């Protein structure tokens, strides 16, 4: 098994070089992260282009086995990967956090390896015969964010490689070491040039997405950056899958059981300390159960320890960076200034060395308050009171984004009827945010387009070709 120090040494910049990376829980120096030049980017793209025909020429079975071997490699280095992820990203080892993320990387690799994608016979009527094949696209650019830096990279890389593409992958500049460490582990099982890491910030990402050699870009990040990538893609008609920001709504119906749903509500909102694209970010609760839901949520939230990630007792961590701390702080202050009621938290220590923002629940908040209408991406949940479900649906749909949503009720059919009217790529019932490697995932409106996971995810990184005759 690979040790943490070995893994870190393999990806960190040499002493005196690179950009210093600090632990978001303590402010301690972790190491320096490398930053690639555009010449290094050119080399990475050239390597991907050179390696692609041989990779595509392998049988699907060979590529499937390679994905399984990559999963084995992740499992061999799981402890070291989780430790680095916890130190650099901030998420605790325990709970649905660092170990969970690394474990999910292996699961996603295996399920992606085993997902069938047979050739489809689309017409066979005695007169016409046509088959639909899914061919490799070529080189796929992978650009990832800092909240789930390993798992989101796997979501993009695993189907791309399975379908015979080679990859150039750029981790977020906020979690470069974690991203590079994962790529180094995966590369233990891949031929040279198949998976090519590049390290850098948005400018390097911008230089990558205009490369004519790329056939496809897989991007997860902000809507603002997604729009820039759409513009950049026009030059070469580069295919895109975009998983952008969300401001997921949850609607609690009058017949929901407040105590029974409280823990799922909590994790729906606070998984990864709220730094999750498809987390519950605004909760609409019917007047008849409003006080009971607030009370039950406070009870669950109070019992969830927040602290340094390497400390086993913690299940919530710091915000990954100071910028995000500032966003959450500004939005909660706006809520407080409006007269909304603080049920829990809301008083951060602004002079600490880390980026801890306390678990915060805000009640009796105006539906138009900035904490409700903007994406907080942190541990602060606004709880809006409603009396007419039509009003709750209208408020949920008023956002210009639509990644996930949830409906909470004791009556599954009633919940499904509401779900059909909510504008979101996924609507969960009595839970929020759970993803599964066989269940397609993607957004509507400005949360992006394209589907990931399962058969649909494999199709997204393929060039469909009809063979007619
Ligand atoms: P977030 O801060 O939520 O992660 P960003 O959209 O800022 O969202 O960043 C997501 C990823 O996109 C990062 O890897 C970042 O370096 C990259 N990126 C930022 N700007 C651009 C751009 N103009 N073109 C391509 N990639 C970019």
Pick one of 1.20.1440.230, 3.40.1190.20, 3.40.309.10, 3.30.2290.10 as the CATH number of 248-429.
3.40.309.10
Task: For residue 451, give both structure tokens.
Answer: 């589907």
Q: Is the CB of 68 under 6 A from ligand 1?
A: no
- pLDDT for residue 16: 82
Q: Reply yes or no on whether the pLDDT at 2 is more than 90.
A: no
> φ, ψ for residue 460 (rounded to 5)?
-65, -25
- pLDDT for residue 69: 98
Q: Is the CB of 228 under 6 A from ligand 1?
A: yes
- pLDDT for residue 447: 98
pLDDT tens digits, 335-379: 999 999 999 999 999 999 999 999 999 999 999 999 999 999 999
User: CA-to-CA distance for 3 and 69, rounded, in angstroms?
Assistant: 19
Q: What is the mean pLDDT of the chain?
A: 97
Q: Whose CA is nearest to atom 23 of ligand 1?
A: 206
| Contact criterion met (CB below 8 Å) for 9 and 18 | no
- Which residues are bridge partners to 166 per DSSP? 139
277 is catalytic: yes
The single-letter DSSP state of residue 271 is G
243 is catalytic: yes
Catalytic residue (one of 75, 277, 375, 452): 277
User: CA-to-CA distance for 13 and 1, rounded, in angstroms?
Assistant: 23
- pLDDT for residue 118: 92
Q: Reply yes or no on whether the pLDDT at 44 is more than 90.
A: yes
Q: Cα torsion at 94, 95, 101, 104 (round to 10°)?
A: 120
As a whole-number percent, the residues of the chain with pLDDT over 70 amount to 100
| Contact criterion met (CB below 8 Å) for 98 and 28 | no
**Cβ-based neighbour number of residue 110 at 10 Å:** 20
**Cβ-based neighbour number of residue 182 at 10 Å:** 33
pLDDT tens digits, 386-417: 999 999 999 999 999 999 999 999 999 999 99
Catalytic residue (one of 189, 243, 375, 456): 243
The single-letter DSSP state of residue 273 is G
Give the Å distance between the CA of 139 and the centre of ligand 1: 19
Give the domain ranges of the chain. Answer: 4-244+447-468, 248-429
User: The domain at 4-244+447-468 falls in which architecture?
Assistant: 3-Layer(aba) Sandwich (3.40)
- Beta-sheet pairing, 380-386 with 280-286: parallel
- Beta-sheet pairing, 120-124 with 248-252: unpaired
Give the Å distance between the CA of 174 and the centre of ligand 1: 10
- pLDDT for residue 1: 53
Mean pLDDT over 51-80 rounds to 98
The sign of the dihedral angle between the CA atoms of 89, 90, 92, 93 is positive
Q: What angle separates helix 202-209 from helix 223-233, to the nearest 10 degrees?
A: 30
Q: Is the CB of 277 under 6 A from ligand 1?
A: no
Q: Which atom of ligand 1 is nearest to the CA of 245?
A: 3
Give the Å distance between the CA of 209 and the centre of ligand 1: 11
């Amino acid at each position: 098994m690979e040790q943490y120090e070995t893994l870190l040494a393999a990806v960190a910049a040499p002493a005196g070089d690179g950009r210093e990376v600090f632990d978001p829980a303590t402010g301690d120096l972790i190491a320096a992260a490398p930053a690639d030049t555009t010449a290094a980017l050119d080399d990475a793209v050239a390597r991907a282009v050179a390696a692609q025909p041989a990779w595509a020429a392998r049988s699907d079975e060979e590529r499937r086995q390679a994905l399984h071997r990559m999963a084995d490699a992740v499992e061999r280095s799981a402890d070291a990967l989780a430790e680095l992820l916890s130190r650099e990203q901030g998420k605790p080892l325990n709970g649905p956090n660092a170990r969970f993320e690394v474990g999910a990387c292996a699961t996603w690799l295996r399920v992606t390896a085993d997902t069938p994608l047979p050739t489809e016979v689309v017409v066979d009527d005695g007169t016409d015969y046509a088959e639909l094949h899914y061919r490799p696209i070529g080189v796929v650019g992978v650009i990832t964010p800092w909240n789930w830096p390993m798992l989101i990279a796997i979501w993009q890389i695993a189907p791309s490689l399975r379908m015979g593409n080679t990859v150039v992958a750029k981790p977020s500049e906020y979690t470069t070491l974690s991203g590079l460490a994962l790529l180094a582990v995966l590369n233990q099982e891949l031929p040279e040039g198949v998976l090519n890491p590049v390290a850098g910030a948005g400018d390097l990402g911008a230089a990558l997405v205009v490369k004519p050699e790329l056939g496809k870009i897989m991007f997860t990040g902000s809507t603002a950056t997604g729009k820039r990538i759409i513009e950049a893609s026009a030059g070469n008609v580069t295919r895109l899958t975009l998983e952008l920001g969300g401001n997921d709504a949850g609607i609690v119906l009058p017949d929901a059981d407040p105590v029974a749903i409280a823990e799922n509500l909590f994790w729906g909102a606070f998984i990864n300390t709220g730094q999750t694209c498809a987390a519950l970010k605004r909760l609409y609760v019917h007047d008849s159960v409003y006080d009971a839901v607030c009370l039950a949520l406070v009870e669950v939230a109070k019992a969830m320890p927040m602290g340094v990630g390497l400390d086993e007792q913690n299940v919530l961590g710091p915000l990954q960076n100071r910028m995000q701390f500032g966003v959450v702080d500004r939005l909660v202050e706006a809520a407080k200034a409006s007269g909304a009621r603080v049920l829990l938290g809301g008083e951060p220590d602004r002079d600490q060395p880390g980026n801890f923002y306390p678990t915060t629940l805000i009640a009796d908040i105006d539906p138009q308050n900035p904490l409700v209408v903007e994406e907080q991406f942190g541990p602060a949940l606004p709880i809006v009171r409603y009396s007419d479900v039509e009003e709750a649906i209208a408020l949920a749909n008023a956002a210009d984004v639509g990644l996930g949503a949830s409906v909470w009720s004791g009556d599954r059919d009633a919940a499904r009827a509401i779900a059909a009217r909510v504008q979101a790529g996924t609507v969960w019932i009595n839970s929020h945010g759970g993803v599964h490697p066989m269940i397609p995932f993607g957004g509507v409106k400005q949360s992006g387009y394209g589907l990931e996971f399962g058969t649909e995810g494999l199709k997204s990184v393929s060039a469909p070709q009809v063979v007619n005759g």
